[in-house]
Amino acid sequence: MYSKGAKQAVTELLSIAGVTINGKAPWDIQVHNDDFYQRVISGGSLALGESYMEKWWDSERPDEFIAHLLSADLENIIKRNTKLKTDILLTKVLNYQTPALARKNIHMHYDIGNDVFAATLDKRLVYSCAYYKDATTLDEAQENKLELACRKLKLEPGMHVLDIGSGWGSFSKYAAENYGVKVTGVAISEEQVKYARQVCEGLPVDIKFMDYRELDQKFDRIASFGMFEHVGYKNHRIYMQTVNRCLKDDGLFLLETIGNPVTRTYIDAWVDKYIFPKSLMPSMAQMGKAIDDIFLVEDLHNFAADDYDRMMMAWHENFTKNWHSLKDRYDETFYRMWTYYLLFCTAGFREKRNVLWQFVLSKRNRPGAYISER
């Protein structure tokens, strides 16, 4: 039996955010199980996401529902429970991104099946922020981003480029085909490595199944897209030291990462359990501490506020449109999990709880001036 007090509490909290239970606005929620109220009061964000996966509630626009909660700062009220406090304490003590644990964490998300990502992403399978300047489609925006990255790195034929967290090979392939460079990519997702080797076949591209900490070779340029979020704040400094060791003195390093306006050592409980285990979006303070006395910031580009929002909505549209090709291999719970993930993240960027940064870094003794690209 559900608690009337819990229902009243949730109703009052949601009303602060302009959300009505069983209301008619697109961002209102329809509750199908009255145990929802006590579950959310007790379990916070994790319970909210899990109850959606289990069809305890629905909304015409889950992204707008979550955006309303974030705008009202309700997550900080709902999340205050003993388990969260314990989880935060553990992140300060334990390193969840040792080489062995990192592979386990990456396997959970990136090896679920290339068919899911093919149904969700653009034609190149770029799994990082698109750049919509002068672009109207997802494919155009992702090509824009790859081109912009190559120009920021000042690539020239014959250079040797390292792609850390090379994913499905989109940047490695684009740089090799369009700029005449040799590329070494490293990743710890078996499915990504297998796919990237296939799409880069015949090009001067070598994709290795390797942890970044194992690298010990010099490169003219280094790039990394959407991988730093998986490094873990206890390893930020080690990551930068590794890149510094592998970058030639006159080289450039492009780092793209989702950023957090607030310094934290933990992520949302639902995202941690179901999507990106033990990941972390770094704050600018954490980034500064990591690069201090190692790199010079040549350029810092904060992408337009709506770039990630537009991309995530395009991913959501692709996934729902292509679900028919996946539903024989994945169940409805997975469908609701994946859609919730896409829309939950959309809301975070829409409300500027997360941002997207591209850094261009160099060693301090690099000769000459750096001219920024946009």
| Residue positions annotated with a catalytic role | 345
- The residue behind tokens 């684009």 is 174
How many helices, marked H, and strands, marked E, lie in the chain?
A: 15, 9
**Closest CA relative to residue 231, chosen from 299, 291, 173, 175:** 291
Pairing of strands 296-302, 355-362: antiparallel
3-class state of residue 157 by DSSP = coil
DSSP 167: T
In what order do the strands lie in the sheet containing 247-259? 205-209, 182-187, 160-164, 219-225, 247-259, 355-362, 296-302
H or E segment to which residue 296 belongs:
strand 296-302
CA distance 245 to 215: 9
